Amino acid sequence: MTHLPLGQQLLDTCAALLLLLSFAMLSQRRVVTLVNLYAVQGAVLAAATLLLAWRTGEEHLYVSAALTLVLKVAFLPWLLHRLIRRLGVYWDTEPLLKVSGTMLVGLVIVVFAFSLAQPITRLASTDTRSAIGIAVSVVLLAFLMMITRRKAMSQVVGFLSMENGVFFGAMSASYGMPMVVELGVALDVLVAVLVLGVFFFQIRERFDSLDLHHLETLKERD
Amino acid sequence: MKAIDWITQVLEMAVALAAAPAFLGWLNQCRAWLQNRRAPSLWLPYRNLRKLFHKEAVIAENASPLFRVAPYVVFGTMVLAAGIIPSMGTRLPLVVSADAIALVGLFAAARMFMTLAAMDVGTAFGTLGARREMMVGFLAEPALLMVIFVASLISSSTALPVITGHLASGHLGLSPSLAFSAVAFILVLLAENARIPVDNPATHLELTMIHEAMVLEYSARHLALMEWAAQLKLFNYVCIGFALFFPWGVAVGRFGPEQLLVAIPALAVKLAAAGFALALIETISAKMRVMRIPEFLGTAFLFAVLGLLVHVLLRA
Amino acid sequence: MLWLPHPVITTSPSLLTGCVALLCGWVLVGLAGLLRPGSVRFAGRTLFTLGAVLGLGLAALAGASLLSGGIERLTLPVGLPELPLHLRLDPLSSLFLLLLGASSFGISVFAGGYFREGEGALPGLLCLQYHLFLASMGGVLLANDAYGFLVAWEVMALSSYFLVTTQHRIPEIRRAGFLYLLMAHVGALCLLLCFGVLQGGSWLFTFHAMRAAHLSPGWAAVAFLLALVGFGAKAGLVPLHVWLPEAHPAAPSPVSALMSGVMLKTAVYGMLRVGLDLLGRPVWWWGLAPLILGLFTVFYGVLFAAVQTDMKRLLAYSSVENIGIVFAGIGLTIVFAGSGMKAVAALALLATLYHCLNHSFMKSLLFLGTGSVLHATGERNLGRLGGLIHRMPWVAWLTLIGTLAIAGLPPLNGFVSEWLLLQSFLFAGRLPHPFVNLLIPMGMALLVLAAALAGYVMVKFYGIIFLGQPREASLVRAHDCGLLERFGLLWLALGCLALGLFPLQVIRALGAVTGQLIGAVVPQGSPHWWLLAPVPARPVSYGPLVFLTATVAVVLLTALVVRLTYRQRVRRGPAWDCGFGAVTARMQDTAEGFGQPIRHLFQPFFEIERELPEPADREPRYRIAIRERIWRLIYEPISGAVGRLANTAARVQQGRISVYLLYSFATLLLLLAVALIS
Amino acid sequence: MELALLLGFPVLGAALLGLTGAHRRAPEINAALSLATFLASCALTVQVIRHGNLLLGDEQFFIDPFNVFLVALTAFVGLTTALFSRPYMRVELEHGRLTPGRLRLYHSMYQLFMFTMLLALTTNNMGLMWVAMEGATLSTVLLVTLYRTPESLEAGWKYFILCGVGIAQALFGTILLYVAAEKALGAQGVTALLWTHLDAVKTQLEPTVLALAFVFLLIGYGTKVGLVPLHSWLPDAHAEGPTPISAVLSGLLLNVALYAVVRSKVLVEGSLHSRLPSVLLMGFGLVSVVLASLLLWRQRDIKRLFAYSSIEHMGIATFAFGMGGPIANFAALLHMTVHSLTKSSIFFTAGHASQKAGTQVMEHIRGLITLSPTVGWGLMLGSLAILGVPPFGVFTSEFLILTTAMREQPWATPILLAALAVAFAGIFSKVQPMVFGETNGRRLPHAPALLPVFAHLAIVLMLGLYIPPYLAHWYRAAAHLIGGG
């Protein structure tokens, strides 16, 4: 891989980091750390975006990099931390699946994701296309994380990191989406988190806890 | 339609009216002899009728008009039936408008009026008799019809005279299907006419009686009509038996008075024989429980259907 | 291309237009009921009588078209975009329209006198539902495309459902209504699929196109089967009949009469339309299904009728029996027609159609009679009736005619159709299928047995309601029915007589139908207008008029002779009863008692639970409840299975969000894998 | 112009009601704005009928018969629902289940929701469509939790998470579409997501990638359609939210989501040579119909009952779209229309009924027909209509769908038959005792707002008996667009 240009190598490193981070999130049970990891993931994403912008000269990538930086590194983590402090949720309870088991499933998923990415990689014209597989696996891993967690907070973080994965996929497959879409997506994510904030307080004032097992009354099985 | 056909028609009815009581009397005589009793007079039934016709009729207060109409209807239908069955000659004007199915329908109508009349006063015996009569009827009727159908399949008509004519023309011997239906027919005859082993005309024992229970509330002329109708019914059934299984001596085809003159004594002989045979059967068999009757009639029905199937199989 | 437009020959559809106008008239009459929904005099008396007159008009038009034997077509610009409403008036439909009009006339007149205050729903609403019901039945008979047919069909079911649930406060009636609508809907779905097959890939849903469509034998059989299920469910073919004995008694009596007398016939019409008209030349073995099912239904129905204690339920089961006869007739027709024996097929079809006419008159008459009894006494239970012939002679004597007719006694109408059917059974001749050759005598035996049992049932029905002593003190206050009701009953009774006495004329009229469906008419073997001789080359004949005159003559003669020779007067006295003094009403046979022999003989058919009195009981009471095994054998398992499935399905929805996410995740991965592979 | 108005009014309304929401005339304003929107939609429809397809706002918006009829439908139901919610929410306020503040939130969000749906329908940009769909979720999630009861919170949470996750998949699908499109169009940037362009080149798009894209899109939007097994949020959200919201969710949002699915199906089918999309749609449809009709048997909550019936009917429509062909598509479109009309009217009456009984538990709702004939008959007729009993329009579409299935996919018909029968038993056995029967309740104190109910039912009835030619032509054009012959 030495013959690759530096930027390329850096990009691949970013991609690898992203994957590593989502694995870390998958295994992490401390909510605060989870949020920090999310922030880091955002930072890596922003870095990758910048790198790409610099190499391809796509100016709208600069904008999205800035967006990422503001939104996913600064604002959202701050908001989440604030919520955590206000609501006092620090630990997630034991996940539904043992961490080791989760890891194994995660590995399988990564393999699947890469096989999945093959045709896309073949199609895509970008030189970051090798990272598509990673993007897919980030998405799926986030999904897995949402499944295995019991606290609303960690589910949200999973949701956000899934969005990260999607974003990374967009970038690596086609240097990002059209501007209008990017803005829309960013807006939606922002609103989503705000809504979530409201939500947390509502849930909290009802159940004085964010444990999801309170939210299992509506069902058919008796 | 020649005059002689009409004569035959009227003659048949008249003979039936006249001979029915006598036949019953004869039957009773034979029974008495077979059972070593002193036989009652052959004319006893006539005397009974005369006596009844001269009594004052008593009718229950809550009897409806239907109760008074019923005897006439029952009697009338029986007379009409006598006109449909070719006991002497086959060229009967009435028959074109009433074939064997209609004949069975006629019997059914008589039964229906009788049972309704029995239920009308609303006594325990009446309804009980009606129920039992219908129980007998709903099995005997189809059996009879099946018996007739066997014959009508053989002669491809449901008109009794045609059947008789076809069977009387002789060339076919007693076919197995007819044998089956003959057995069935005898069982039906016994049941329909309230003879032993199904009913005992001699007693008024409520555990067993069927026909008598229905006419309990009747008196005088109404009772007379009912009794006479019963005798006619017996007579008719026997004649049906002759028409289906022993059509000998019946004037067939376009006949003149002479055949008719032959037919009358032939009928008399056959009646005598039949009476004796019935008496014999009644003597050697014992009255059965009411709830056994359906089995008895079920057998009859089964035999009739078997006859039909045998016919189809043999023809195939 | 979506539905291609297809040419519509409209041969000056004067009669058809008239019929449509009359149907619209019915709808309008119904809507008029909403003007003053509360008033019995307006909505009840006036409008119902008006509707009756319309019915008579319909009968007249239909009769005219039947005699002319022509075919009229018409299209109205409603319905699906490329499928305007096609209407067609041909012999078959006009026969059933005649049936509808004629019997609805009597029923509507009766209904005009029947509905009163406190009948549950508002008279205006009843009027609307009732006339919608009538109009929709007319629509079913006139429709010439699948869509119009099904719409009318379901409107029929819907309006009758609302009529059935008039007294919706009673839980049993709600249950009955639910069962009825459910069965009706399932049946309609089957019909829908049947038409889906019939249209055979040409997206024309007109019957015209369906006749032209060429189906593979397999598909044709499927279509026939679906039709049998669909129409059988509406007609009450065992085992799809379960709704019938519930729904008919639940409805107000005129409605029961309409449902039993006319609505069931629309199902028969549909069966004939699909089986013999749309499917073209039927295959002989199709006929076995309706034949066997029909025969079973006949027997089953009459058995259960014999053990009923509720007079309307008894009649409902008797309807099941008669529908069985009709379907057996249809089956026979198809077997013969499929084997190329046109003449006999025509005879069987003739018997079937004749029986439809008869049954609609007889059964309407009987149901209306029970309606009057119900009004006069407020009792439906046979165990609490009796002796009404003294209190309500009109109803009693008119009902007697219906009773004798439905018991199949000559010279009334019930006998004629049974006679014809038996002839067609008898002279089936040689079918090319040995198995069927053996089946036919058995069928005949079963039919005859059932006919005899019907006599039993009717004696029970009439004897217990009208004869004997009143079983309740209150019955003394029973009153005879009003003028309109009498007229309605009289009309139907006369119908029974006429159908019984002039079979030849009826058969001439029916010739057009047999000609249309079979391509053969039943020949008339004798030169006389009063003599019926339908079987070619066989000396078989029946002359009801002569029969009647002979009987009457003999009876009158007897009466005359007796009167002349007889001198004593008649005295009224207490019932003798073998000299037993205290005869009370409770000593009479009850309905249960009268049914006892049947119950005893055919034990296996019934599911009986008894409550016998103890020897030491102060006031001994005897209770018996009879259920159909069909419930336990078929329906309860089905509903149980669905319930279990539902419980299983409920496991899916188990409230935990992670699991829901897991579902999405698994689905995603699965589909992605599929997408990769394909 | 019309488009501007169409999208403008709701935004304006959202802002207006958001600022001055506590105003006591707020419901009227809400209704008035909905009316304005509806008029705009009518104008737009006229435009399309007159001049054919429209491309507006430098190709960002595209109006063709397919979406314009949905636009009209959406605006209409939006209007009637606003009319219904006017008295209804007042009563809720009186009953103290709501505070003025929340009512204000309700009104502004209601308008915003209308906006997002109209945007999703009219936009030509797959990306924007995604944004709008997400927006629709976000604007309704707080409405679902409007009552702040534990159940409503739970429902809202599930709604949010499941739809959010799903919609994320849809975004990924959109990206894949974009990648493929870029390849085919060579054009960078915006145009590569414009449906019109994609539609033009759909035959050259890379099959495998499109297949993957379709799966992602199907999972994403299918979650919102409520296809089993992605449906889990739907019954909860429908049952716990305020009735007007249940009505629009069930009547409109599902339609819009299905619209998105179909749009993507059209593209994918163009490029794929396999029948994969059709098979997937049919499979999802059947599974949804079966499971929903089974679950109908166990319902005790009236709104939940009809939520499941929505799943069932969306399943039927999806199945029909899966079969494809002119008639099936026609039928599916018709089905979408009549379902949304009927279902919303049912929710109206159900809302009144439960408001009167003070509970949504069906055992406690009895004898409506005596308490309030209008509500009783409305519920009875509505349920019969939704169960596909003629002469109501639902029967028309089911007639076409089933007969087509009998020809095209015979294997499916027994399943459909059984499922429909089970559904009938399930729903009707619960509706009948609610409408009929004894009751000890008093008559309604306030007159129910039943103009919307009977307006809807009247239209459905009309569609059952007579489909006006222009409407038919319109449907047929749409069906043709979706790719029938």
CA–CA gap between residue C207 and residue C199 (Å, rounded): 8
Chain A with chain C: Cβ pairs closer than 8 A: 50
- The residue behind tokens 């159609």 is C353
Contact between C193 and D417 using a beta-carbon 8 Å cutoff:
yes
What pLDDT digit, counting tens, does each position of C617-674 carry? 888 777 888 888 888 888 899 999 999 999 988 888 888 888 899 999 999 999 999 8
What pLDDT digit, counting tens, does each position of C380-429 carry? 888 888 888 888 899 999 999 999 999 988 889 899 999 999 988 887 76
pLDDT at residue number A1: 43
Is the model's pLDDT at D441 over the cut of 90? no
Contacts (Cβ under 8 Å, ≥6 apart) of D87 = D446, D447, D448, D449
Please check whether residue C608 touches B, CB under 8 A.
no
CA–CA gap between residue C413 and residue C360 (Å, rounded): 11
Please check whether residue B280 touches C, CB under 8 A.
no
Find the CB nearest C185 among D161, D389, D433.
D389
Q: How many other β-carbons are positioned within 10 Å of the β-carbon of residue B288? A: 15
Category of A123 on φ-ψ map: left (φ > 0), alpha (ψ -120 to 50) or beta: alpha
Tokens linked to C345: 């097929």
Domain count, chain B: 1
Is the model's pLDDT at C216 over the cut of 60? yes
- Comparing CA positions, the residue from D344, D359, D367, D469 lying closest to residue D74 is D344
Query: Which residues form the domain of B140?
Result: 3-315
Tokens linked to D304: 């939940």
ipTM of the complex: 0.90
Please check whether residue B17 touches C, CB under 8 A.
no
- Comparing CA positions, the residue from B167, B230, B171 lying closest to residue B195 is B230
Residue D374 vs residues C34, D301, D453: alpha-carbon distances, Å: 15, 21, 10
CA–CA gap between residue B310 and residue B314 (Å, rounded): 6
Element (H, E) at D69: helix D65-94
CA distance C576 to chain D (A): 51
Q: Which chain A residues in 181-200 lie under 8 Å from chain C, judged by CB atoms? A: none
Task: Tell me what the mean pLDDT of segment D101-125 comes to.
Answer: 89
**C595-625 burial by CB neighbour count: b if 16+ within 10 A, else e?**
bbbbbebbeebbeeeeeeeeeeeeeeeeebe
Q: In the structure, what pLDDT confidence band is assigned to residue C274 with cuts at 50, 70 and 90?
A: very high
Which residue in chain D has the smallest CA separation from C640? D297
Q: Are strands C570-573 and B57-60 parallel, antiparallel or unpaired?
A: parallel
Element (H, E) at C624: strand C623-628
pLDDT at residue number C5: 34
CA–CA gap between residue B89 and residue B9 (Å, rounded): 8
pLDDT at residue number C667: 92
What pLDDT digit, counting tens, does each position of B41-80 carry? 888 999 989 888 888 888 888 888 999 899 999 999 999 9
Whether D389 contacts D342, CB under 8 Å = no
Contact between A178 and D189 using a beta-carbon 8 Å cutoff:
yes
Least confident span in A128-142, A172-186, B217-231: A172-186
Q: Degrees (nearest 5) of the Cα angle A151, A155, A157?
A: 120
Chain CA centroid to CA C588, Å: 32
Q: If DSSP codes are grouped into helix, strand and coil, which group holds residue C427? A: coil
Provide the β-strand partners of residue C295.
Answer: none
CA distance C318 to chain D (A): 28
- The residue behind tokens 């993931």 is A41
Q: What percent of chain C has pLDDT over 70?
A: 97
DSSP H helices in D95-206: 100-122, 126-144, 150-185, 195-201
Whether C286 contacts C334, CB under 8 Å = yes
pLDDT at residue number C9: 44
Contact between A177 and D178 using a beta-carbon 8 Å cutoff:
yes
pLDDT at residue number C54: 93
Find the CB nearest D280 among C169, C192, C671.
C671
pLDDT at residue number D385: 94
**E strand map for D330-444:** none
Name the residue with higher pLDDT: D62 or B249: D62
Find the CB nearest B60 among C407, C456, C575.
C575
Whether C294 contacts C330, CB under 8 Å = yes
pLDDT at residue number C117: 63
Q: If DSSP codes are grouped into helix, strand and coil, which group holds residue C206? A: strand
Longest Cα separation, chain D: 72
CA–CA gap between residue D401 and residue D330 (Å, rounded): 9
What pLDDT digit, counting tens, does each position of C23-80 carry? 999 999 999 888 887 777 887 788 899 999 999 999 999 999 988 888 888 888 887 7
**D383-400 burial by CB neighbour count: b if 16+ within 10 A, else e?**
bbbbbbbbbbbbbbbbbb
Chain C CB contacts of A108 under 8 Å are none
Please check whether residue D451 touches A, CB under 8 A.
no
Contact between C174 and D438 using a beta-carbon 8 Å cutoff:
no
pLDDT at residue number B144: 92
Residue D385 vs residues D341, D346, D390, D392, D394: alpha-carbon distances, Å: 10, 10, 7, 5, 6
What pLDDT digit, counting tens, does each position of C548-566 carry? 999 999 999 988 888 888 7
Is the model's pLDDT at D93 over the cut of 90? no
Which residue in chain C has the smallest CA separation from B316? C434
Please check whether residue D79 touches A, CB under 8 A.
no
Is the model's pLDDT at A110 over the cut of 50? yes
Contact between A222 and C650 using a beta-carbon 8 Å cutoff:
yes
What pLDDT digit, counting tens, does each position of D248-277 carry? 999 899 999 999 999 888 888 878 777 888
Tokens linked to C44: 């009840």
CA–CA gap between residue D244 and residue B247 (Å, rounded): 90
Please check whether residue A184 touches D, CB under 8 A.
yes
| Helix axis angle, C123-142 to C91-114, nearest 10° | 170
CA–CA gap between residue A52 and residue A172 (Å, rounded): 9
* Residue from D337, D383, D436 whose CB has the most chain C CBs within 10 Å, to mutate: D436
- Using a 10 angstrom Cβ sphere, with 0-12 exposed, 13-18 middle and 19 or more buried, the burial of residue D93 is middle
- The residue behind tokens 């004898």 is D367
Find the CB nearest B122 among C400, C585, C601.
C585
Contact between C566 and B221 using a beta-carbon 8 Å cutoff:
yes
Please check whether residue C225 touches B, CB under 8 A.
no
Please check whether residue A66 touches C, CB under 8 A.
no
Is the model's pLDDT at C118 over the cut of 80? no
Chain CA centroid to CA B111, Å: 12
Contact between D142 and A198 using a beta-carbon 8 Å cutoff:
yes
Please check whether residue D373 touches C, CB under 8 A.
no
Name the residue with higher pLDDT: A38 or D204: A38
Residues of chain B with pLDDT under 50: none
* Residue from C398, C412, C467, C577 whose CB has the most chain B CBs within 10 Å, to mutate: C467
Q: In the structure, what pLDDT confidence band is assigned to residue C2 with cuts at 50, 70 and 90?
A: very low
Task: Tell me what the mean pLDDT of segment C434-449 comes to.
Answer: 86
Distance between start and end Cα atoms, chain C: 31
